[in-house]
Structure 1
């Protein structure tokens, strides 16, 4: 599959950063995208770039009713669902004893529960199309680091959920991909490195995953920026 002509995708966290970049890349490749996020203003600004191909839907993915409405809105508008990109995420960093309960709950709700909810409601439609799920995890879902207790726990959990989805859906020919980027030049980081990945680079990798040749699954991709020699220890 060299393009996404005629395909319908849902992208969460689509109002900025990687989510917005993925939305643009999919649209440029022929897809129509249901763009979900909490920021109505940003979603509408994005949708005006491609008014006939982006459907903005305000959604808090931690809320069951809102997630169901996101999926139902896409189905009512386009009649099918081919790709789900679970991109929405949040990070709160600090030593375990310094994290607040609110910090912990927010990361677990957005980074893990939100993916569960979107998959729960999208899977029946993805099965019909032999579709795709792409979960945006992190290098922090593969290696832990001090100060990342809550974030790493949520992303390690996402890796486990992705593995379970792979096993549960393989008989239905639904592909499950997990991408684990390193540092990215987005609002997620207060002070990203100059050599950090760009949102567009991550989006291009996700594009490669969902347009893989028939019979090929890029099950898990870990991508890091190439660190210039002068920044290496």
Structure 2
């Protein structure tokens, strides 16, 4: 399979300050893309950008609260003014709080829905018109295995990720006639201390998920990798 080059591609990645988003930003820049790294922490984004200074591409710190429509709209316009286009949007930002339904705090529920679902909606809403105008582009949503199966204690997180899966499917249907690709990755446990839990030593590495996103983005023009579920290999007892 002949991969497309990411040179001269403009990529917007949310949740870029740490974990999977951090790894994706570095990899896409290494492959030659101009990456707008989006998160709320400007300090972490500046450190990320400095760590990629010797790569073929560049990382541009882009502080933004993706739950605020005006901030997202302004960022998208900034990218278009600076580069004239956005080629790839990766909706990666996400967080999780885990507890039985009756113990889950209202603000925790709201924050998961705002970041995991509303944030993806707002970024997509403001990027899509520019992709449609060019009849080209790719949106990659980072969901979770928790968007395909449920588990006790995961009511809010699963609800947000199941919602993202539905959002992804509808987006794929709406944008297919405009020659815009839509993909989703559903990782299992990743070594990121997500949700305040200690990762298992056999969990996926952030770079594993980043490489899958790269493969999706660089796939031949006639190929869409719609959905990939990634799980770590669990060591068997000896």
Is 1:158 aligned with 2:160? no
Query: After the TM superposition, which residues 124-203 of structure 1 pair with which residues of structure 2 at under 5 Å, given as runs?
Result: 124-127=129-132, 128=134, 130-189=136-195, 190-203=197-210
Regions of 4+ moved over 4 Å? none
Match of 1:120 in 2: 125
Query: After the TM superposition, which residues 1-233 of structure 1 pair with which residues of structure 2 at under 5 Å, given as runs?
Result: 1-51=3-53, 53-127=58-132, 128=134, 130-189=136-195, 190-230=197-237
SS where residue 194 of structure 1 aligns?
coil
**Which deviations, in whole Å up to 9, do the C-alpha atoms of 1:52-94 show, x marking residues without a partner?**
7111111111011111122112112111100000000010100
**Cα RMSD (Å):** 1.2
SS where residue 2 of structure 1 aligns?
coil
Distance in structure 1 (CA, Å) of the matches to 2:127 and 2:4: 24
**What are the ranges of 5 or more consecutive residues in structure 2 without an aligned counterpart?**
none
TM-score under structure 1 length normalisation: 0.96
Distance in structure 1 (CA, Å) of the matches to 2:135 and 2:234: 40
Q: How far 1:188 moved relative to its partner?
A: 1.5
**What are the ranges of 5 or more consecutive residues in structure 1 without an aligned counterpart?**
none
Question: Retained in 1: the 8 A contact 2:38–2:63?
Answer: yes
TM-score under structure 2 length normalisation: 0.94
Distance in structure 2 (CA, Å) of the matches to 1:216 and 1:119: 21
Distance in structure 1 (CA, Å) of the matches to 2:27 and 2:135: 21
**Which deviations, in whole Å up to 9, do the C-alpha atoms of 1:104-160 show, x marking residues without a partner?**
100000000000000000001222151000000000000000000000000000000
Distance in structure 2 (CA, Å) of the matches to 1:97 and 1:37: 31
Question: Retained in 2: the 8 A contact 1:20–1:46?
Answer: yes
Distance in structure 1 (CA, Å) of the matches to 2:232 and 2:13: 24
Distance in structure 2 (CA, Å) of the matches to 1:50 and 1:182: 27
Question: Retained in 1: the 8 A contact 2:90–2:139?
Answer: yes
